[in-house]
Amino acid sequence: MKKEDKKIYYRPELSQLLQNIEDLAIRIYQTNYAETFFKALSQSYENENPELAAYLKEIADVFSKPNGWKIYAEKYMAKLLKDYDIPRDYVFHFYQIKMVLDVYKEQFDTLEKEILKEYPNLTKQEYFMVVSFMQKISAPTRYPIDNGMYKYRGDIPEFYEYIERHIEYLKRELAPTIEMFNTPDKEDGKTALLPEKALDVTDDLKIQEENENLDLPELY
């Protein structure tokens, strides 16, 4: 990149926005996926089938208990399939996780578009930093939860282990970007040029795009 393209300007509002997004991601990735799924599903049936909506809300509340999964398996799972006309996949945890992650992906994609629209004059370096930041944030939404191998109950713990690792990864890897945008400019109103390798994520982003189909745990 040209020297001008490598400049990073003092953007405290953008820094705070990225910090808020990181905080949001860490919070929602630690959510109870089954509870979130059944609450959303309940709301979707409120007008069409109030009885089913109430039953789904009851199921969602079960997952707030320490032994929620045991209660669900013993009392609700079979009845849900037998008595109500809902897709079979809805009762399985792999599908619940996938649907919640799909919603998160849509939210993060929207946030990225809004940031780039709000800051149309980012330098190339800043642009790549923001895009790389958001790709790291949204990485769990591309986890291969629906490719067959994670449909089995024994593999689900791998997903939660991955989430724990990814949260630590976010805390470690996103801090430099947030800090750079929150660093006041030099006296001439512009930041100093970046050292040859410092925080230049261009190559990193290209590699990430080329390897998008790899298992995400390989990022660690």
Per-residue pLDDT of the chain (220 residues; tens, 9 = 90+): 788 899 999 999 999 999 999 999 999 999 999 999 999 999 999 999 999 999 999 999 999 998 999 999 999 999 999 999 889 989 998 889 999 999 999 999 999 999 999 999 999 999 999 999 999 999 999 877 655 544 444 467 888 888 999 999 999 999 999 999 999 976 444 444 343 333 444 444 443 334 333 233 333 3
Report if residue 38 sits inside a domain: no
| Predicted pLDDT at 185 | 77
- Residue 179 is part of which domain span? 4-31+92-219
d(CA 149, CA 121) in angstroms, rounded, equals: 44
| Predicted pLDDT at 201 | 41
Report if residue 54 sits inside a domain: no
Report if residue 76 sits inside a domain: no
- Number of folded domains in the chain? 1
| Predicted pLDDT at 159 | 84
| Predicted pLDDT at 34 | 95
| Predicted pLDDT at 207 | 34
| Predicted pLDDT at 154 | 45
| Predicted pLDDT at 199 | 40
